[in-house]
Amino acid sequence: MTEPIIASESITPLSIGSLPALPTQSATYYAQGQWRHGTFVDDLHALARTAADQPAYINVRTLLGGSVTVTFGELARHVEQFAAVLRTRGVRPGDVVAWQLPNWWESGALWLACVRVGAVALSLPPGTGAREREIMMTGTRARLFIASDHDATDGCADASVLRLGELLLDADLAVPLSVAERPAVHADSVCQVLCTSGTTGRAKAVLHTHNTRYAALRAALPHLPQNAVTAAASTLTHAIGLIFNLLSPLATGRPSVFTDTHDTAVWLDLLARHRVNCLLAAPRTLGELVDAQRAKPRDLGELRQVTSVAAPLPEPVAARVRRFLCPRLVRFYGMTEAGTVMATSPQDASASAGRGLGRPVRGTRLRLTETDDPGAGLLHVRGPGLCRAMFDLRTSRELWSPAHDEGWYDTGDLVATDAEGGLRYLSRAADRIGWGYVIPVAEVESELLDHPGIAEAVIVGVPDAQGHEVACAVVVPRGTPLTLDGIRSFLRARSMTEFYLPVRLALVPELPRTALGKVRKEQVRRQIGSDTGGGRPCTTPPESRR
């Protein structure tokens, strides 16, 4: 993602007093109901009064065996007990509380307990190594780190450490905070820090408030089936898992279902057993679920909608999802910084989810800035779900805030209008390849994925012998021998524009990916450029040499 850097002095991370002013549109957000004065803990306690025995979370725990159902009443009790433990451990409003846990309901309860005491949640993905953990913990000045009972705790900087088992034991004995002990929590204060490097490798912290998280959820809900049991194939530490597994039940009163494994067989069994109505997953995960469903079909008759999130959705994958998982397919376009920005319409999802980004969700505005490429625009967004600020984890330098450019955020994505009045994704701005005209990277990649001998493929720009940037297809083969001429012939047979065709081919055993499954294209470029891609080097056809 393009990261605009604002010239400014280093700021103290997460110090409310040093954060930029609220966006000028904040009064409008309040007036339109996109922001509010309450918090998600208020929602939880309202449900604990009216639907105490109804399930909030259904958590399949493969690491322990079996599953756990947590009702709204039980969740409210655990949140108050966890909050009391945090308070006893010295956590005060504005302090950062970090944890690294399996994808268990306790992570959700901890997030809400942070809301109760006015702390800022920093939930690290399972598998985060000591190096990255130290960068996050140091950069956010975390006060407390909560780990599972058996995981390492090195790289925690100056934070004190609490094991999950200790937390649960202390919580059983804890006395919930009295009304007088509960700090006043403002809905515009920071409640969440999400650490991300996107595909650029730059470690940055994204700061969200109670209101930006509320706005993100509120904007997405109309695009999900009503009264749905949802399951997001994402960790609770990621923005998608946070919004749709942790927070969605507090707004709908309907449960979410999630598990602590990426095993597709477990996920399919979960969807069938718990009669899930709406599945949210990244395209790569959807493709894996399709393969597993074809190998061993489950009864997914209750599944009313599949929603693709987190990455461009190739049309071949979309077609297989409609055929083998659910005919109703919706695509969300969003980002850690802003939540869901655009969505395809459920009414025409079967026709457009694989090609377009759809239209802006409620409250979000879009702006396209001209590029040198005819028909392509650089997408900027503004809306109530956009983060409060962003800073560099290593330097504390502010990278973006709503005070910049009247609140418009540069997504770093190149898009074009489509025939249906929506927008069509072309590529990342960083993926721009060629001179004078942009190669629609996403479209070329989508066509390549329909090749029977290709398991995975991306297009990146690499320099040729003269230093000009050319398109290289980086491919994980499926077993069939592949050649550059064969791939170019395959694309020509699908009527692809000639100058879109890759002029180099690199065969690799796997593609480097983020925790959510996005390809780290900058890493791919470096590997291919240095001939260290782990496979055969790039080859160039004779006709492209000069």
The burial of 509, by beta-carbon neighbours within 10 Å (0-12 exposed, 13-18 middle, 19 or more buried), is given as exposed
User: What is the pairing mode between strands 389-392 and 329-335?
Assistant: unpaired
Whole-prediction pTM: 0.82
The pair of structure tokens assigned to 135 is 């960068």
- Report, as ranges of residue numbers, the positions in the chain whose pLDDT lies below 70: 1-18, 197-202, 346-355, 373, 419-421, 430-432, 434-438, 465-468, 529-546
Supply the pLDDT for residue 466.
55
Question: From the CB of residue 227, how many other CB atoms can be counted at a distance below 10 Å?
Answer: 9
- What is the reported pLDDT for 431? 67
Token readout for 454 is 């290709």
Q: What pLDDT, on the 0 to 100 scale, is given for residue 349?
A: 47
- Using the Cα atoms of residue 34, residue 35, residue 39 and residue 45 in order, give the sign of their dihedral: negative
Indicate the SS3 state at residue 18: helix
- CB proximity list for 78: less than 8 A, separation 6 or greater: 70, 106, 109, 171
Q: How long is the chain?
A: 546
**Per-residue pLDDT, 439:** 77
How far does Cα 128 stand from its chain's mean position? 16
The span from the CA of 450 to the CA of 289, in Å, is 17
Of 4, 38, 49, 513, nearest to 283 (Cα)? 513
Q: How far is the first Cα of the chain from the last one, in angstroms, to the nearest whole number? A: 33
Which value, in Å, is the radius of gyration of the alpha carbons in the chain? 23
SS (H, E, C) 484-529: HHHHHHHHHHCCCCHHHCCCEEEECCCCCECCCCCECHHHHHHHHH
* DSSP conformational letter for 439: -
* Contact between residue 270 and residue 239 where contact means Cβ atoms under 8 Å apart: no
For residue 439, which amino acid is it?
A: I
